[in-house]
Structure 1
Amino acid sequence: NRHPANQWFQTAKLGFSYHQYVQSAIQLYTEAGYRRAIWKGTAAEFRLGAGYLHAIPDTEIFTLKDGQYEKKTNLGRPQVMAGATLGLSYTQQKAANPLRFFVDYQFYMQMPFVKSYVPLLPNTLLHAGVGAPFSMFKK
């Protein structure tokens, strides 16, 4: 899609997040998005996505066995994430390999979190960064 004002695109992302006192999470997900050019390199975008989330609890887990508590080995649990992202960006206009500077606000649901009483856990993330085209790394 090479239209200068409207772009449809697909992402593939690998990420890590930390929720203090609750969990660390490894994320592998994809998003389908639409980016609309606004003015001189600035753009707004919207993305919908879903994927895999591996949640690792931030607390120790114990089990009661024969009247004694034993520490349980916990490597985390597989879960699903699904959500939406709103973003603003600026892409360099005259560079041979233009960098894209962005700020994104992401909302996603993590499921199932605790099946018995909190099946869906809402999360929000703020992303800020720089994107580079793959062509920048060709020789």
Structure 2
Amino acid sequence: MTLPGSEMTRSAVPSPTDVELQILRILWANGSCGVGVIHEHLHREKGTNYSTTMKMLSVMLGKGLVKRNETQRPHLYRAAWSRERMGKGLLKDLATKVFEGSVSSLVLNALSNSKASQSDIEEIRQILTEMENRSDE
């Protein structure tokens, strides 16, 4: 049984859990990896046992978060979504669910709740300037 609104469209980004995001960060940093490399990182950071790592990868495979190359031994896992695409999808989902689709509310909330560095502020100004220039065309 699926709940109303829970259907995932083909282009929708799945919502990873915190541990799944940790595994995705490992894959984004290292590219395709065998279970051993992933497990080594998880064990060092969280004390995770090998069977838990295997189970997490299996769940992530089912959710479409990772892909597995079975033509090699050991099987290699890679992120199914780039960091950028995942981030954009999750931000769009957050803006829709929490801020009723208002991107400005999302951005203002993010900026007011954290300390932005001078380089962050300059980069934001540059992006805003580029956006203004595009809208003038």
Query: Which TM class, normalised by the smaller chain length?
Result: under 0.3
Structure with bigger RCO (C-alpha 8 Å, 6+ apart): 2
TM-score (norm 2): 0.20
TM-score (norm 1): 0.20
Larger-gyration structure (1/2): 1
Larger helix fraction of residues = 2
Larger strand fraction of residues = 1
